Amino acid sequence: LGRLVDACHDLAVAGARTVRNHPRLELHAEPVLTAFLFRYLPADATNADPTDTDAINASLRRRLLREGRAVVGRTELPGEGPGRVRLKLTLLNPHTTPAQVDRLLHTVVAAGLAEEAQ
């Protein structure tokens, strides 16, 4: 059982690395066990309204679910005001590969780009 949990944690670490290295994704914190939080960043993230960034992240998640491409969790950071919406990946299948996690994260980016284009 320990090896299975370790394998899933390794997947989360690999996914977090992909997020850190992608200019359109932002990692909230290092993975805890088998999950990590992140968000999609719009084209001009520095000047973007945090409310708009929250809306894009919420809508890209719904798009992925509606299209049957991915089930990505959503949470909000504690506190007040906009800029708190985060996406959450919880990796529980030890047979998933790092390449599959990478493809999923690139699918998230594609959905974010599609939402921005609307």
Rounded CA separation 112/54 (Å): 11
Strands annotated E in 2-51: 25-27, 35-40
Q: Is the dihedral of CA 54, 56, 62, 64 positive or negative?
A: negative
Q: Which of residues 64 and 1 earns the better pLDDT score?
A: 64
pLDDT surpassing 90 at residue 93: yes
What is the spatial distance between Cα 43 and Cα 29, in angstroms, rounded to a whole number? 22
At 77 the pLDDT is 94
Segment 53-69 mean pLDDT: 97
What pLDDT does 63 receive? 98
Q: Tell me the sheet residues that pair with 37.
A: 88
- Quote the strand ranges of 28-117, DSSP E: 35-40, 73-76, 85-90
From CA 47, how far away is CA 27, in angstroms rounded?
Answer: 19
Domains of the chain: 2-117 (3.90.1150.170)
Q: Rounded CA gap, 16 and 50, in Å?
A: 22
Digit-coded pLDDT (tens) for 66-76: 999 999 999 99
